[in-house]
Amino acid sequence: MTTTYTPMIQQYLQVKSEYDDAFLFFRLGDFYEMFFNDAIEASNILEITLTSRDGGSTDKIPMCGVPFHSAEGYIETLVQKGHKVAICEQTEDPRAAKGIVRREVVKVVTPGTITEGKTIDANANHFIGAADQLDEGRYALAYVDLATGEGKAEIVSGDERTLIGEIEALGMKEIVVRERLHIALNEGMAKRDIVLSMEDGDAKKSTDGLVSTIPSDMTEACEILVSYLKRTQKSSLDHLRPFEYIQKSGKLSIDANSMRNLELVQSIRNGSKEGTLFWLLDETATAMGARKMRIWIHQPLADKPAIEDRLTIVSDLIENYFLRDELKSSLKEVYDLERLSGRISMGSASGRDLAQLRNSLRCVPYLKDALLQSGHKRLERFSEQLDPCVEALDLLEASIAENPPLSVKEGGIIKDGYNEKLDQYRDASRNGKEWLAGLERDERERTGIKSLKIGYNRIFGYYIEITKSNVHLADLTRYERKQTLANAERYITSELKEKEELILNAEAEGQDLEYTLFCTVRDELKTHIRRVQQLASVLSELDVLLSFATVSEKYRFVKPEFHDGRALEIKNGRHPVVEKMMDHSLYVPNSCTLAEDANMLLITGPNMSGKSTFMRQVALTVIMAQIGCYVPCEYAKLPVTDQIFTRIGAADDLASGQSTFMMEMMESRNAIANATDKSLLLFDEIGRGTSTYDGMSLAQAMMEFIHDEIGANTLFSTHYHELTKLDAELNRLVNVHVAAMEREGRVVFLHKVMAGAADKSYGIHVAQLAGLPDSIVVRAKTLLDAFENAEQTTITDTSNEQLSFFDLQEEQDTMTETDKSVLEDMKQADLMNLTPMQAMQLILDWQKQLKQ
């Protein structure tokens, strides 16, 4: 039996067939309705009631809906969970429709194109990207922030994992690809909750001049992205800026793993901003500045003149406190010009948005003048770059009210005097209301009824209301009854009826005209968008440099020096984030020296002594210097670093095992495959996820390869003390250790990096500090002595037979069978091929047996 649906459901199914990968919000009156599977799924996700309706078939059709005036929150919830939402609106007046009302999808909201909402961080870019494979091991990656119009493109060298890592590092929620790349990326994207969308067909060629500075082999990725945005947004995208080509030669490359390990913009522990380098440095006054700082941290400079130019501007700002304070005060009055430009371009800007643009442009002359009077050439250059956008400001000053309402259709947006016809309507409306107030006074005097009032409702219009107890006082020859209430009568007079038509027409026609004028102003502003965006770029850069100056002065940072070699010298360096989170007077600074002929440090010392912190602070110092900020130390002379690679555990308590070891090896392979002699490598305890001999062998082989084949500046921490002997074989390797001392049987960490190798590991002392039961600690010390004695005996025994741990001649008769069993297990244990966790488990098993 063929199912026959009503015309409205047939219309729904036709639209839905074109957007089968999205929830279809189908406008019916004051609601967006969903049907069939959309309704079933959406009701569960949004926790709204699932109902049903008659659609013309024999069975009821599942249905759910949300009010159109509160739909944004529901849409945002669906999108945040990785879904797309197609908004289908009524595109003709139902009163004029001949049959079913015409409906069309006016916008598709996706995880990468959502621009507003409670979960959207205005201080971070919200990129959507497109990827295209150029050849084996090379990908083009283009990405756009739809809210700001900012677009960039870059080459990613490596395999699919490298590409996904870069996408993840940029925080993208959606990637658009052709079908051939969809298969390769599908699984990896799904694991990271990144939506993978496809774009195919012939509509790709229209990029409106956005790719003029992009290499020709990268244009397809840009075309894919622009095509997808046009197809989903269905509105003007005039605010999209030409794609900026990110040349790797001019940037310090930091892969996704290193960004995560170094906690540059996101904390490993909870994913928040707190505890990150961005958290430390961000004292920006505008959202534009905060976004630019994130981008700078993700892509530091690798060009010496450009770095030194930024550092000089920071120096100038540090020297001029009063100028800095004046500039920051003015910037606090500047709204988010980039996002305002986006709303204007896409036709979603309100009157309040235009007022914010006007108020922001008012600040520019003060900023220009302050910079021009600074007496510093580079700050004067900033002044020259600030375009006051006079034409746009003049238009806004003339047209937009000082404090317009949020709604764009209820009046109050346009200034008096801007349009003569609108002024006439307003005059009629205002005079009419004054006339009504006068009429009310006159009627009260004429009738003597003090409670008489003139009111209004949308159904009956204006009326004179008299309570029933006073009706006998009214002149009913003048009054025409309009409505009877329980305790009052409502009347109208011929005079009031005439005035009512004039007032109501003036209000309605005035609001219609005002909305038309507002749209005209908004459209005219589109011609100034490029200039406003350029102004925003300059202001955001100034904002970031002001923040660098403020933070550098507050935390006693110093200006770094750069040279053309690869030697690195940091005197009494500090980890700036750790220092901020603790009492800075308690922080122990450490120096780091990598010489031209000795640029590999092998760092030993106990766990928890500060090896990882020392390594991270060196990397953060390099990054801070190359984004143009002062650095946390007494003195720094640095090379220009091209790449930073880290293999540092997400936390010092990561459990060892196959998955951890595999991640360790993959990150190490990525570093070794891509590093150059201008790179900085940080390896923290390579090999701890496997057996002792395996780990030691791998660590040594990596060190030898980096030393002989790459020559990069390298910090390599290890718990394998045997590796410290490599300084005799590798002439550029230097041993250092993080000092510790024993006091009354307990270890005290000095957190001081000193020359030479550590003499012991203090592993059991660390376990004691961690709160392990005393019985385990005591037993572990006994076993450690036994193992060390056994190992020494094994080495010196010419017969290669391991000697007994203890002399048991006198105790043989008193030992239980359990004692003997444990002792035998200890003799047979292959300790050198166990991980630390496996060894600890053995000790716990033996203790349990002995206690029983």
Name the binding residues for ATP. 605-612
Q: How far apart are CA 642 and CA 255, in angstroms?
A: 12
Q: How far apart are CA 543 and CA 746, in angstroms?
A: 50
Which tokens go with 265?
């913009």
CA end-to-end span of the chain? 76
Please give the backbone phi and psi of residue 128, each rounded to the nearest 5 degrees, phi first: -115, 140
Which tokens go with 189?
């994207």
Give the sheet arrangement for strand 453-457, strand by strand: 453-457, 461-467, 488-492, 480-484
Q: How far apart are CA 113 and CA 730, in angstroms?
A: 53
Please give the backbone phi and psi of residue 488, each rounded to the nearest 5 degrees, phi first: -155, 160
**Alpha carbon separation from 233 to 221, 276, 346, 525, 818 (Å, rounded):** 18, 35, 9, 20, 75
E strands present in 110-173: 127-135, 138-145, 150-157
Rg from Cα positions in the chain: 36
Please give the backbone phi and psi of residue 572, each rounded to the nearest 5 degrees, phi first: 50, 55
Which residues make beta-bridge pairs with 142? 130, 153
Residue with tokens 């660390």: 766
Binding residues: 605-612
C-alpha closest to that of 33 among 8, 62, 66: 66
Please give the full DSSP string across 619-681, using - where no structure is assigned: HHHHHHHHHT--BSSSEEEEE--SEEEEE--SSTTPPPSHHHHHHHHHHHHHHHHH--TT-EE
Q: How far apart are CA 548 and CA 557, in angstroms?
A: 10
Q: Report the SS3 class of residue 177.
A: strand
**Alpha carbon separation from 556 to 232, 325, 573, 676, 829 (Å, rounded):** 50, 18, 11, 33, 54
What element of type H or E holds 229? helix 219-233
Q: How far apart are CA 231 and CA 734, in angstroms?
A: 59
Q: With b meaning 16 or more CB within 10 Å and e meaning fewer, what string describes 792-818?
A: eeeeeeeeeeeeebeeeeeeeeeeeee
Which residues make beta-bridge pairs with 643? 253
Q: How far apart are CA 279 and CA 466, in angstroms?
A: 66
Which tokens go with 225?
């992205």
**Alpha carbon separation from 91 to 19, 30, 407 (Å, rounded):** 18, 14, 21
The 3-state secondary structure of 739-788 reads EEEEECCEEEEEEEEEECCCCCCCHHHHHHHCCCCHHHHHHHHHHHHHHH
Classify the C-alpha dihedral 114-117-119-125 as positive or negative: positive
Contact 157, 138 (CB under 8 A): yes
Q: How far apart are CA 169 and CA 164, in angstroms?
A: 9
E strands present in 436-584: 453-457, 461-467, 480-484, 488-492, 561-563, 568-573
Give the sheet arrangement for strand 51-53, strand by strand: 51-53, 61-67, 31-35, 23-28, 85-90, 103-109
